[in-house]
Amino acid sequence: MEKLKVALVGTGNICHAHVGAYLRRDDVEIISCADINLDKAKAFAAKYNIPKVFNSVEELLAGSDPDFVDVCTWPAAHAVVSIAAANAGKHVLCEKPTCHNMEDALKLREAVKKNGVLFQLAVPLRYGNAAQHARKLVDDGVLGDVFYGKTAYVRQRGIPGGWFSCTKYAGGGPIIDIGVHRIDLAWFLMGCPKPISVSATASYRIGDYRDDELKEQLANGGATVSADNAWAGSFVPDYKFDVEDSACGFFRFENGASLFFETSWSFNGPESFATQIAGDKAGFTLEPFKLYTADGAELKEEEITGIEETGIFYNEIDHFINCIRTGTTPSSDIEQAVQMEAMLCGIYESAKLGKEIELKY
Ligand SMILES: NC(=O)c1ccc[n+]([C@@H]2O[C@H](COP(=O)([O-])OP(=O)(O)OC[C@H]3O[C@@H](n4cnc5c(N)ncnc54)[C@H](O)[C@@H]3O)[C@@H](O)[C@H]2O)c1
């Protein structure tokens, strides 16, 4: 089988995880990589024997000819890099969140459609084996009519280091960093109904709780890892903490279903990582994976076991590669990416305006 050629843009943390997935297969070849930090890109290329290294997506597209581009930059660069790749006729795998605002999301959709390329948003939780099994239960009608979802990704304290807490680069805080993972997962499990509105609140009360010594190190680039979170985005010289601590809200969908979410990097309450979906025949929780039914007043609770995980990053990349080879539309395609962007932007808008808002996309 002819190898598919991939080019990587943004050679930071998550790019290492993606490379780990590419290296597990022999039908893909990493032909080039690029980063605005050229030394970082060179070190990355040396580590993985990547033949060509560039300083920008434009140089990469002029100097190498991939079948698809894997966009692993910080969110502020997702749209510009993905649009450049699509305009060069390349398929695009793009890290979450899709971009920074609805205007960019719509421009990206236009570029993807105009150029007839495939786009997949990297939302790895939906590609987990248990999540896929759970969605099959929904598709097979085991839950009946699915009308409710509830999901949480709540850290008591856990701000990632680097640009993650600076709106200019990240676009927001926990909503777009970790909330998106669980909102997407629950939405996927509900069958991706069309979102029509959101009512949400966001809290900016706790702020940057990290101690002064660490803040000083973070401001000078001497340290990028927060005391309580091992995930560190790159140092950015004009760093400023200006994002929310936590948020909660409620989406309505065209089919009458609703989804409640909670997310936080700083919250005075217990940590929570839970997703629950309910229909009129049955419901399930994913963590732990249990099916809930009732026979009249008799309640039944069945644990679903024996599902082995094979790697969420491997699975999401495997899905995209199969889509490219067969010309099929990815699960988290550009239409879903735009709807997810509308849901995320809608949370911020609703929180700012203090009312339920209609989602437009
Ligand atoms: N799927 C997941 O579980 C998961 C986990 C963490 C991060 N992420 C997402 O992955 C993305 C990257 O996060 P990270 O932790 O790897 O950050 P990182 O800071 O380690 O890496 C980002 C890299 O992008 C580079 N970059 C920025 N703009 C660029 C541009 N225009 N062209 C080329 N390179 C550019 C930066 O120099 C940096 O090296 C973010 O969108 C983040 O939300 C996903």
List the pLDDT tens digit at each of the 361 positions of the chain. Answer: 899 999 999 999 999 999 999 999 999 999 999 999 999 999 999 999 999 999 999 999 999 999 999 999 999 999 999 999 999 999 999 999 999 899 999 999 999 999 999 999 999 999 999 999 999 999 999 999 999 999 999 999 999 988 999 999 999 999 999 999 999 999 999 999 999 999 999 999 999 998 888 787 777 776 667 767 778 899 898 989 999 999 999 999 999 999 999 999 999 999 999 999 999 999 999 999 999 999 999 999 999 999 999 999 999 999 999 999 999 999 999 999 999 999 999 999 999 999 999 999 9
Distance of CA 311 from the midpoint of ligand 1 (Å): 20
Q: Which domains does the chain have, with CATH numbers?
A: 4-117 (3.40.50.720), 126-310+341-358 (3.30.360.10)
How are strands ordered across the β-sheet holding 91-95? 52-54, 28-34, 4-9, 68-71, 91-95, 119-122
Residue 207 falls in which region: left (phi positive, over 0), alpha (psi -120 to 50) or beta: left
**Ligand 1 proximity of 36 Cβ (cutoff 6 Å):** yes
Residue nearest to atom 33 of ligand 1 (CA): 35
57, 95, 177, 313: which to mutate for ligand 1, most atoms within 8 A of CB? 95
3-state SS, one letter per residue, for 76-132: HHHHHHHHHHHHCCCEEEEECCCCCCHHHHHHHHHHHHHHCCCEEEECHHHHCHHHH
Q: For residue 160, which atom of ligand 1 is closest to its CA? A: 15
Does residue 165's CB lie within 6 angstroms of at least one atom of ligand 1?
Answer: no
Ligand 1 within 6 A of CB of 128: no
| Cα 209 to ligand 1 centre (Å) | 24
Distance 346 CA to ligand 1 centre (A): 23
Task: Give the atom of ligand 1 at the shortest distance from the alpha carbon of 13.
Answer: 16
b/e sequence 64-75, b meaning 16+ C-beta within 10 Å: bebbbbbbbbbb
For residue 12, which amino acid is it? G
CB 334 within 8 A of CB 109: yes
Which class for 248: exposed (0-12), middle (13-18), buried (19 or more C-beta within 10 A)?
buried
- Taking the CA of residue 34 as reference, the ligand 1 atom at the shortest distance is 33
Q: Flag whether the pTM goes above 0.85.
A: yes
Cα–Cα nearest to 286, from 182, 147, 142: 182
CB-ligand 1 contact for 18 (6 Å cutoff): no
Cα 12 to averaged position of ligand 1 atoms, centre (Å): 6
Please give the pLDDT value at position 146. 98
Whole-number Å distance, alpha carbon 203 to ligand 1 midpoint, is 25
**Ligand 1 close to Cβ of residue 14 (< 6 A):** yes
Measured in Å, residue 210 CA sits from the centre of ligand 1 at 22
| Confidence (pLDDT) at 223 | 63
Please indicate whether residue 162, judged by its CB atom, sits closer than 6 Å to ligand 1: yes
Residue of 40, 69, 71, 74 with the most ligand 1 atoms within 8 Å of its CB, for mutation:
74
Cis peptide upstream of residue 97 (ω within 30 degrees of 0): yes
Residue having the nearest C-alpha atom to atom 4 of ligand 1: 14
What atom of ligand 1 comes closest to residue 124's alpha carbon? Answer: 1
| Integer CA distances (angstroms), 258 to 10, 195, 250, in order | 36, 9, 7
Atom of ligand 1 nearest to the CA of 76: 28
Predicted confidence at residue 215, as pLDDT, reads: 80
Sequence-ordered list of residues with C-beta below 8 angstroms from that of 267, at least 6 positions apart, any chain: 154, 155, 156, 206, 245, 246
CB of residue 75 inside a 6 A radius of ligand 1: yes
Output the CA 169–ligand 1 centroid distance in Å.
Answer: 10
Model pLDDT, residue 1: 83
Q: Are 202 and 246 in contact (CB under 8 A)?
A: yes
Pick the atom of ligand 1 nearest to 231's CA: 15
The Cα 243–Cα 54 span in angstroms is 32
